[in-house]
Amino acid sequence: MKVAVVGATGMVGHVMLQVLAERNFPVTELIPVASERSVGKTVTYKGKDYTISSMEDAIAARPDIAIFSAGGGTSLEFAPKFAAVGTTVVDNSSAWRMDPDKKLVVPEINASSLTSEDKIIANPNCSTIQMVLALAPLHKKYKIKRLVISTYQSITGTGVKAVQQLENEYKGEKGEMAYHYPIHRNAIPACDVFTENGYTKEEMKLVNETQKILGDKTIAVTATAVRIPVVGGHSEAINVQFENDFDLAEVRELLQAQEGVTVQDNPDTNTYPMPIYAEGKNDVFVGRIRRDYSQPNTLNMWVVADNLRKGAATNAVQIAEYLAAKELV
């Protein structure tokens, strides 16, 4: 299969190439694409160097699949151009997620909705993916009424500039700032930009994308998203109120049975998910599962995942795998 990776030199693009290689995706021809300034440079895939192509050359090559991680503006401009030549685009930006004509896909939950007509498929936001994968089996069984979410998000979600800022601050060196404030030894309660309602874009993604993926606009969602000086992945404290009561043992069974979820939950042995252990892994890790005694039918849990993997690259590659397996491309 002829595969283009758009944004191949970025943090997610780099992991995208790793995941394609690790999962032995059937790539017969790889077309790495990046900005004009990177054209002619090389990236490595399965031990071989590949030259970066321009967007125009990649479109002319008519790949079967193009996996995008190059920002919303690039996706809005170029995804339709790839689609016009018959390429199926899996887009990691926010550009198409809330478009009513585009599917927003976490494969374990709703890949079955995809058809050969879907030429631009949206990959959800990193913090949404890990949360809905843990919530989906519980929603099916008990029906979610309301979610209260606090996120503790890795700087890798911001990109290379943020990683460099943290490294500079570790060393006590001055340098370019990705954030308005120092991130070392700090917590910044502002992920992405603020919107008119006082919430950040990241917080609103958790509201809107959750309802769309789970197919239920009645779910009430409120979120606070915080950036912390961590590189391994995003962590989320999630308070879930259900319409129906639950049994804790059954909740654990449902989570353990969910493809892509690993339960790590044993207070006696201090076992719970942490980003330092989630880094480099494709699963979503769930722990601290306990009843909220302050109101009926309510559960607390702690959800952690590598935001560059299941939160971005792995999910996109799994969509591509589904398309290939079902011969939709």
Supply angle C-alpha 224, 68, 311, rounded to 5: 35
Task: Give dist(CA 5, CA 97) in Å, integer.
Answer: 19
Residue 153 marked as a ligand binder: yes
How far, in Å, are 17, 173, 215 from residue 209 at the CA level? Answer: 26, 39, 9
11 is an annotated ligand-binding site residue: yes
Tell whether 224 is in a known binding site.
Answer: no
pLDDT at 264: 98
Segment 71-92 mean pLDDT:
97
Outline where 172-295 has alpha helix (H): 201-214, 248-257, 275-278
pLDDT band at 54 (very low <50, low <70, confident <90, very high): very high
Q: Amino acid identity, residue 142?
A: Y
Residue 311 exposed, middle or buried by CB count within 10 Å (0-12, 13-18, 19+): buried
* Residue 164 is assigned to a ligand binding site: no
Is 37 annotated in some ligand binding site?
Answer: yes
CB 28 within 8 Å of CB 2: yes
Instruction: Render pLDDT for 245-281 as a digit per residue (tens, 0 to 9).
Output: 999 999 999 999 999 999 999 999 999 999 999 999 9
Q: What is the 3-state secondary structure (H, E, C) of 192-223?
A: CCECCCCCEHHHHHHHHHHHHHHCCCCCEEEE
- On whether 218 is known to bind a ligand per the annotation, the reply is no
**What tokens were used for 219?**
């779910």
- Residue 238: pLDDT band with limits 50, 70, 90: very high
Catalytic residues: 126, 234
289 and 239 Cβ atoms separated by less than 8 Å: no
Distance CA 290, CA 269 (A): 16
Mean pLDDT of the chain: 97
Sequence-ordered list of residues with C-beta below 8 angstroms from that of 127, at least 6 positions apart, any chain: 151, 153, 157, 202, 205, 206, 225, 234, 236, 307, 311
Q: What are 57-67's pLDDT values in tens digits?
A: 999 999 999 99
Instruction: Answer yes or no: is 307 a known binding residue.
Output: yes
pLDDT tens figures, 200-212: 999 999 999 999 9
pLDDT exceeding 90 applies to what percent of the chain? 98
d(CA 176, CA 149): 31
User: Rounded to whole angstroms, how far apart are CA atoms 255 and 57?
Assistant: 45
Q: Is 38 annotated as a binding residue?
A: yes
Write the DSSP assignment of 40-94 as a string of letters.
Answer: T-EEEETTEEEEPBPHHHHHHT--SEEEE-S-HHHHHHHHHHHHHTTPEEEE-SS
Confidence (pTM)? 0.97
Q: How many Å apart are CA 152 and CA 230, to the nearest integer?
A: 9
